Chain A
Amino acid sequence: MNQERFEQLHQAQWQQLEQWLEARREKKRKADNDESTAVFPHLYRQVCHHLALARERHYSNHLVERLNKLALEGHTQLYRSRTGILMNIVRFVLVGFPVLVRRESRVFWLAALLFYGPLVAMWFTVQQWPDVAYSVMSAPQTRQYEQMYSPDRKVLGRERQADSNFYMFGVYIWNNIGIGFRTFATGLLFGLGSLFLLIFNGVVIGTVAGHLTHLGYISTFYSFVVGHSAFELTAIVISGAAGLKLGLALIRPGRRSRLRALREAAAISVRLIFGVILFLVIAAFIEAFWSSTTAFAPQVKYFVGGLLWLTVISYLLLMGRGRET
């Protein structure tokens, strides 16, 4: 069949598909229940067929290009992933995330070790040899921390005024989630970035906590951090685990190609990061609006903090059990 005849024969169908795609572009979802939508898959497959024919018969480039574009747009519409986003989020929080963390428990524990190991080691080291603190932090930095948690302060943590809780919330979001993202992303460099950031943060946090404990600022410091630490520290560990997973995929791809292993690992890791974002927003909220308040006795804050730790642990350990699929 020659080209002009071919075009005459199928022009109507092509135009119909073009119009449908055009309408779809303009009003996005409204076209969904339209009658014309029912014929769309058929039209699309026709065009795919025509494209194959046009290529095989060496019809003119322009015709092949036009059909290619039409088929491509049809392909885009037919195979785009449907996301009922709200339902997905709820499901992810209730089941998906804890199940995922449990499934990735190996990298989770590896990251936890890399983070809590240096933290605990530095804490005890500073008890034994207090001067070590000054080789980790500069003297002005140390003084700043001492001021923040000095027992004669009215407000715990950083300097703040009455209306500054929200200000601190903003700072925590900006700073902490940024750290979480970097801990994850630098894992792409064979895990080295995540490795470094986990150990580094462990060392710094362990040193600060050890130093303040040594000075005896116990109730001010611990009653401040106990609330948000559950969510914040766990989130840092999980973002480190996500980064290590990327690195391990490159180092030990198993029986897959490195590219494929990386892509599969990234698809899993990014879901861990969704959870990290959630945890860090909660942590920032607690840190800004609860941890800093002195309206409650330290005992109350320890109790609530313990409850929050219990919540995080049982959430990750128990939620979604039996609904793993």
Chain B
Amino acid sequence: MLDTLRDIETPEGVELGLRAAGLPVRAMAWIIDFLIRFGIDVALVVALTPLGRFGVGLMFIAVFLNEWFYNVLFEVLRDGATPGKRSMGIKVVHDDGTPVGWSASLVRNLLRVADFLPTCYAFGIETMLLHRDFKRLGDIAGGTLVVYADSLSAPPALPEVRPEPAPLALSGTEQHALVRFAERANTLTPERAEELADILEPLTGTRGETGIRRVLQYANYLIGRR
């Protein structure tokens, strides 16, 4: 199917869903990180250069660490997210959904060099666009995945109306569709809700406002309200 949801199977035999993050959001995160890294570099140069040759030596080491290990340190120690990734709501995980470790993070970040070639991350962007999980070369070799760090949305308020059973037995998928409609009813425009409910005319026997109400009643019954 053409979506960004990746299922990982756990040893317990259930599948957990992860949403892979695409190019634009990752590029934004990279730009933020780039600015932060650049700021750190500038701060290091300004702070350490006046300390003479010793300071400059220290500066080289610090700039080296910043340029090569900024991503690795944040990803491993801060739950898979650099500041840029955190602000964009994404993080790095292993292919199996577990938090990224030293080896994988080092692979994916050292191989940035290859992703960057021939210039401006051309290879990396190309592979991301071709890969179904938006992986760049470093992700492929490291076995890592960049996913949305989901936060749970508020529970949908299923409008409470007097529950009533549907006039005939509904299959699982049909029940599911009714409940999902009811959950979304408050966020739909009245016209759209009416349009959708009208499809169920054979079931509800009415159209328009009362049709919507009927469907909500069935849904209330289905989730167990009495």
Residues of B within 8 A of A184 (CB): 110
Residues of B within 8 A of A269 (CB): 107
Residues of A within 8 A of B103 (CB): 267, 270-271
Establish whether residues B64 and A273, one from each chain, have CB atoms under 8 Å apart when the complex forms. no
Q: How far is the CB of B224 from chain A (nearest CB, A)?
A: 3
- Given A60-B180, A79-B96, A174-B63, verify A166-B224 contact (CB < 8 Å): no
Establish whether residues B53 and A188, one from each chain, have CB atoms under 8 Å apart when the complex forms. no
Per DSSP, chain A at the interface is: helix
Q: Is B122 an interface residue (CB 8 A)?
A: no
Establish whether residues A58 and B172, one from each chain, have CB atoms under 8 Å apart when the complex forms. yes
Establish whether residues A193 and B114, one from each chain, have CB atoms under 8 Å apart when the complex forms. yes
Establish whether residues B110 and A181, one from each chain, have CB atoms under 8 Å apart when the complex forms. yes
Q: Is A263 an interface residue (CB 8 A)?
A: yes
Q: How far is the CB of B165 from chain A (nearest CB, A)?
A: 12
Establish whether residues B113 and A170, one from each chain, have CB atoms under 8 Å apart when the complex forms. no
Residues of A within 8 A of B114 (CB): 185-186, 188-189, 193
Q: How far is the CB of A180 from chain B (nearest CB, A)?
A: 10
Q: Is A68 an interface residue (CB 8 A)?
A: yes
Establish whether residues B101 and A161, one from each chain, have CB atoms under 8 Å apart when the complex forms. no
Q: How far is the CB of A7 from chain B (nearest CB, A)?
A: 9
Establish whether residues A188 and B224, one from each chain, have CB atoms under 8 Å apart when the complex forms. no
Establish whether residues A52 and B13, one from each chain, have CB atoms under 8 Å apart when the complex forms. yes
Q: What 1/0 flags go to A112-153 for Cβ under 8 Å of B?
A: 000000000000000000000000000000000000000000
Establish whether residues B16 and A273, one from each chain, have CB atoms under 8 Å apart when the complex forms. no
Q: How far is the CB of B62 from chain A (nearest CB, A)?
A: 8
Q: How far is the CB of A70 from chain B (nearest CB, A)?
A: 9
Establish whether residues B53 and A61, one from each chain, have CB atoms under 8 Å apart when the complex forms. no
Q: Is A246 an interface residue (CB 8 A)?
A: yes
Q: What 1/0 flags go to A49-73 for Cβ under 8 Å of B?
A: 1011000011011100110110110
Establish whether residues B57 and A171, one from each chain, have CB atoms under 8 Å apart when the complex forms. yes
Q: How far is the CB of B179 from chain A (nearest CB, A)?
A: 5
Q: Is B119 an interface residue (CB 8 A)?
A: no
Establish whether residues B152 and A66, one from each chain, have CB atoms under 8 Å apart when the complex forms. yes
The distance in angstroms between the C-alpha atoms of A316 and B137, with both chains bound, is: 31
The distance in angstroms between the C-alpha atoms of A61 and B155, with both chains bound, is: 10
Residues of A within 8 A of B17 (CB): 68, 72
- Given A60-B223, A173-B64, verify A266-B107 contact (CB < 8 Å): yes
- Given A2-B224, A3-B224, verify A164-B64 contact (CB < 8 Å): no
Residues of B within 8 A of A93 (CB): none
Residues of B within 8 A of A188 (CB): 111, 114, 137, 141
Report the interface size for chain B: residues with CB under 8 A from the other chain.
Answer: 57
Establish whether residues A60 and B179, one from each chain, have CB atoms under 8 Å apart when the complex forms. yes
Q: Is B162 an interface residue (CB 8 A)?
A: no
The distance in angstroms between the C-alpha atoms of A63 and B153, with both chains bound, is: 11
Q: Is A286 an interface residue (CB 8 A)?
A: no
Establish whether residues B16 and A68, one from each chain, have CB atoms under 8 Å apart when the complex forms. yes
The distance in angstroms between the C-alpha atoms of A156 and B117, with both chains bound, is: 37
Q: How far is the CB of A277 from chain B (nearest CB, A)?
A: 9
Residues of B within 8 A of A44 (CB): 12
Establish whether residues A181 and B113, one from each chain, have CB atoms under 8 Å apart when the complex forms. yes
The distance in angstroms between the C-alpha atoms of A181 and B106, with both chains bound, is: 11
Residues of B within 8 A of A62 (CB): 153, 155-156, 183
Which residue of the partner chain, among B10, B99, B107, B176, contacts A71 with CB atoms under 8 Å? B10
Establish whether residues A273 and B106, one from each chain, have CB atoms under 8 Å apart when the complex forms. yes
The distance in angstroms between the C-alpha atoms of A163 and B98, with both chains bound, is: 47
Q: Is A11 an interface residue (CB 8 A)?
A: no
Establish whether residues B140 and A189, one from each chain, have CB atoms under 8 Å apart when the complex forms. no
Residues of B within 8 A of A5 (CB): 224
Residues of B within 8 A of A177 (CB): 64, 68
| Nearest 9 CB-CB pairings of A with B | A2-B224, A170-B60, A170-B57, A185-B113, A167-B57, A4-B224, A58-B176, A266-B141, A188-B114
List A residues at the B interface (Cβ < 8 Å). 2-5, 44-45, 48-49, 51-52, 57-58, 60-62, 65-66, 68-69, 71-72, 75-76, 79-81, 83, 85, 161, 163-164, 166-171, 173-174, 177-178, 181-182, 184-186, 188-189, 193, 246, 259, 262-263, 265-267, 269-271, 273-274
CB-defined A-B contacts under 8 Å, sample of 17: A3-B224, A48-B12, A58-B172, A58-B179, A60-B223, A61-B183, A62-B183, A71-B16, A72-B97, A76-B99, A80-B98, A166-B53, A170-B58, A181-B110, A185-B114, A188-B137, A271-B103
